[in-house]
Chain A
Amino acid sequence: TQLLEQSPQFLSIQEGENLTVYCNSSSVFSSLQWYRQEPGEGPVLLVTVVTGGEVKKLKRLTFQFGDARKDSSLHITAAQPGDTGLYLCAGARSNDYKLSFGAGTTVTVRA
């Protein structure tokens, strides 16, 4: 059983469309991170959110941490083929700095 559940598992969209990826848990996290992983490479950190209700923007990517710090979402506006990859959420609980990872969402953006 995954501590962090990501949905959907796979997402394929056309260039220019918008998409949202969800990361949900029944546990409270002190912080949550989003990573992107490309084939044959390790994950790379995109953002860290720490405050309930926090919204962070990274160009066309918008990240939100739920008010209760149990969930998060990643929204991509006007997706481009370069956004293709595996998106992973990872959370740290308040008494444990070790990260728990979700299973990931594979995003494919078709040109």
Chain B
Amino acid sequence: NAGVTQTPKFRILKIGQSMTLQCAQDMNHNYMYWYRQDPGMGLKLIYYSVGAGITDKGEVPNGYNVSRSTTEDFPLRLELAAPSQTSVYFCASSYSGISTDTQYFGPGTRLTVL
């Protein structure tokens, strides 16, 4: 199993541009998550999904959108990129939503908005 994969690894955007961060998992997990990680701030939950067709906002959803058309894929869309969205983005998945379940993380996408 590849686990959780993310593309691209790095990206530089200009202010106002849009892009989609791709995330896929091959573990047949129902739950998927998008986090952003900023220095000294830990990981903040952006959006999550409990299954195909179902998504919900996390702690910091403004400026982002998601969709979940299949169990495997959970893309994160940035519209009108802003410097405040410069961060490292991690996608994660888990089999269930119970608090003791393991979340498996992808390798991350480092995004810079100039």
Contact = CB atoms under 8 A, between A and B. Distances in A.
Nearest to A49: B100
A97 B96 CA distance: 10
A88 to B, nearest CB: 7
Contacts of A30: 99
A69 to B, nearest CB: 12
Interface string A25-37: 0000011000000
Contacts, number: 51
Contact of B4 (A40, A42, A88, A90): A42
B108 A97 contact: no
B99 A97 contact: yes
Interface string A95-111: 00111011110000000
A31 B99 CA distance: 7
A102 B107 CA distance: 19
B48 A98 contact: yes
A45 B103 contact: yes
B74 interface: no
Contact of A104 (B42, B48, B103): B42
Interface in B88-114: 90, 92, 97-100, 102-103, 105-108
Nearest to A89: B42
A46 to B, nearest CB: 10
B92 A97 contact: no
Given A42-B105, A42-B108, A101 B100 contact: no
B103 A99 contact: yes
A96 to B, nearest CB: 8
Interface of A: 2, 4, 9, 30-31, 40-45, 48, 50, 88, 90, 92, 97-99, 101-104
